[in-house]
A and B are shown apart, each in its own frame.
Chain A
Amino acid sequence: MTPSDPSPPGARPWFPLDDRPPCCEPKPFLVTEHLSVRYGEKPAFLDVTLSINTGCITALVGPSGCGKTSFLTCLNRLTDLIPGCRVSGYLRLGSVDVLSPQTNVIYLRRRVGMIFQKPNPFPLSIRRNLEFPLREHGMKDHEQISATIETVLRDVGLWEEVKDRMNAPALSLSGGQQQRLCVARALVLSPEALLLDEPCSALDPISSGVVEDLIASLRGRYTVLTVTHNLAQARRIADYVALFWVQEGAGRLIESGTVKEFFEAPREALTAAYVSGMRG
């Protein structure tokens, strides 16, 4: 496909990898060194050393069961909630040693928002979904809360769709709207980074496109780490790509690099096979 390809009407703009607007500085925000996660004795992934750059979109790709989601959930210590889960290695977020027992997990999770594969708004009204986290994190002023809610809903393109029914149940929204509400719920706490676990895979193609555009629009303002099964999506929205693969019964990081290197000049044979569709 080239830029001169006749695109079907309504298709999102596509541009070659070189023309992508510069959006981020290669300054590491999240750094892992020899990071491993095990469930009991079973390793999810082993020995991952990776830097995630500030303000960029990094896509984690690879087949199912190679530890991508486990990698994501240990970054905000959500793995603490899983019985028998052990995380080892070194993980730094900004200047914070994430795995240190002294780290304030509540504050850490406030800095790193997370979006799950299945949209999971709380069974509350649309407004309460956003108000509840704000209040719990100390915002009490009613007008300030309303203003913040409006800002994030505009950010995710949901404001016009829901402004007249803020007290309706969040679960009455469509799947795509629910997922955008979940993004808004994460953004409402002004995080620095967002972790997205296949945010589009449970959605229909149209909603998926809307959410994908939303993720792309976060570039530069947030450090975004997204897991995806969709290589074309990674190519469209990511600045950096990292490939995970199962080797000897455990997930491993095979290769990471800029999206251009990854797709056009992969260093590893496995990456080349995966990108060309021969593997995976």
Chain B
Amino acid sequence: MPESIHRRERIVTVFVWTGAGVVTVIFLWLLGDLVWHGLDRLSWEFLSAAPRKAGRAGGIGPILVSTGLILSVCLAVSMPIGVGAAVLLAEFTTDDSVFGRLTRRSLDILSGVPSIVFGLFGNAFFCKILGLGFSILSGGLTLACMVLPILIRSTEEGFRAVPAEYRMSAAALGLSRTATLFHLLLPAAVPGLMVGLVLGIGRAIAETAALIFTSGYVDRMPESLLDSGRALSIHIFDLSMNVSGGDANAYAAALVLVGLLLLINSTASWLADHWLHRRIVLA
């Protein structure tokens, strides 16, 4: 190999490895910092007890429950609507139809809208107009609006990645579109759905701005979906910004948040693999 080509290969190799290395180091640094400062606070007591002294002492029990409820509302609403809309876009509209183009463009713009705007919208629409007040329901519905564009677009991509031959050969066998959808397309589109779900959950669980205006600040144990509930991210924000001496618990709560995110994501992909494996078998 001539010397110049050899040198170019090496430059590209160094460049690529540096990029990957920097990303990994930043992630490990962040994680290490959280573990270093937060791990000694972490205990069953911390996870289950109610916060005391504005969060300086005690645990995050009610906050975990509120976070779980907000996330559940968000997913229960966004999953069916998201998959439905993705099916409509991918299977029943053509690329150049006005409706399809308009919807896709709107979704792409919506997915880039800052979360504070969703927060204000949620406050105006769910809290005030629908009269749900500062509640877990308002927060979950606002998050659903925020997550939907990402979920729809990546699920749609999942459907588009399914080879057209499956649709043709299914139609040639006289199979109905519904049967084709449920037995072939949906299982085959699961990877796309999972990408959307993981991105969506990541965005939802880390959300602060949109929830401050909708689900509120109250750190008591919620008794119903209409109670106000404090999400984990808001708790971390509050402890590190507004509460002096709250840093240690903020670190511990942040560690829990990251752990939760990793847990949910790996569970989601395990479930997807499992489901996928049962229905679809590639060579």
Contact = CB atoms under 8 A, between A and B. Distances in A.
Contacts of B184: 122-123
A180 B281 CA distance: 19
A76 B166 CA distance: 16
Contacts of B94: 83
B45 to A, nearest CB: 49
Contact of B281 (A123, A133, A182, A189): A123
By Cβ-Cβ distance, the 8 closest A-B pairs, closest first, are A109-B174, A171-B283, A169-B281, A114-B172, A110-B174, A172-B283, A120-B165, A106-B174
Nearest to A110: B174
Interface of A: 76, 78, 81, 83, 105-110, 113-114, 116, 118, 120, 122-125, 132-133, 136-137, 168-172, 182, 185-186, 189
Contacts of B281: 123-125, 168-171
Contact of A116 (B169, B280, B283): B169
Contacts of A110: 173-174
A189 B174 contact: yes
Contacts of A168: 281
Nearest to B188: A123
Interface of B: 94, 163, 165-176, 179, 183-184, 188, 279-283
Nearest to B184: A122
B154 to A, nearest CB: 20
Given A118-B165, A182-B169, A124 B279 contact: yes
Given A81-B167, A107-B174, A116-B168, 12 more contacts: A76-B172, A113-B173, A116-B169, A120-B166, A123-B166, A136-B179, A137-B174, A168-B281, A169-B281, A169-B282, A172-B283, A185-B173
A78 B168 contact: yes
Contacts of A118: 165
A122 B172 contact: no
A33 B106 CA distance: 47
A118 B165 CA distance: 9
A81 B168 contact: yes
A81 B188 CA distance: 20
Given A122-B184, A171-B281, A109 B165 contact: no
Nearest to A107: B174
Contacts of B170: 122
Contacts of A132: 175, 183
Nearest to B173: A133
14 contacts: A76-B172, A78-B168, A78-B172, A105-B174, A107-B174, A109-B171, A109-B172, A113-B173, A122-B166, A122-B184, A125-B281, A132-B183, A169-B281, A169-B283
Nearest to A123: B280
A52 B174 CA distance: 22
A136 B183 CA distance: 10
A95 to B, nearest CB: 19
A31 B22 CA distance: 69
A118 B198 CA distance: 35
A106 B168 CA distance: 13
A133 B280 contact: no
Contacts of B283: 169, 171-172
Contacts of B188: 123
B257 to A, nearest CB: 37
A78 B168 CA distance: 8
Contacts of A78: 168, 171-172
A113 B174 CA distance: 9
A108 B166 CA distance: 19
B175 to A, nearest CB: 5
A134 to B, nearest CB: 10
Contacts of A136: 175-176, 179, 183
B270 to A, nearest CB: 20
Contacts of A186: 172-173
Nearest to B172: A114
Given A124-B281, A171-B282, A171-B283, A189 B167 contact: no
A66 to B, nearest CB: 21
